[in-house]
Amino acid sequence: MTTIEELEAALEWFNSHYAPSECKHYKHITKSLTQAIAIKKGECVVQKSERQILFEAVDRMGWKEIRAFQEELKKGQSIHEDAGGYFMRCYKRLFGIAPREEVITYKGAMKAMIAAQEERG
């Protein structure tokens, strides 16, 4: 789980490396980080529906995400994933989520989950 200090450091780093004119999503990123800090501090509560959140994500999509989605579709389904996993991989790319390394076995999946949790603290 991300701490307030990590969010504040991310916001400070972002502001020191990018100017509003250099980054297409500057306003969105700084607003999201600022809101996340406020939520962690208990100063505000997110009052958006899933529908609003999804529509905002769709609004941020551009050709980069669409091309990434198409590239995942072209790769095809792996022998290690079912149809649902294949389409989830494609849709994740559409929403800007980078692909993860393949996990083939349940034991591998469990080890990856434990490692991810250890990284978060």
Per-domain residue ranges of the chain: 1-47, 62-121
Where does the pLDDT of residue 30 fall: very low under 50, low under 70, confident under 90, or very high at 90 and above? Answer: confident
DSSP-H helix ranges across 18-102:
26-40, 50-60, 63-75, 83-94
Tokens of 121: 């603290």
Around Cβ 69, how many Cβ atoms within 10 Å? Answer: 19
CA-based angle 55:58:64, to the nearest 5? 170
Task: Tell me the pLDDT tens digit for each residue of 77-91.
Answer: 888 788 888 888 888
On whether the CB atoms of residues 81 and 103 are closer than 8 A, the answer is: no
Task: Tell me the pLDDT tens digit for each residue of 83-112.
Answer: 888 888 888 888 887 776 665 677 877 787
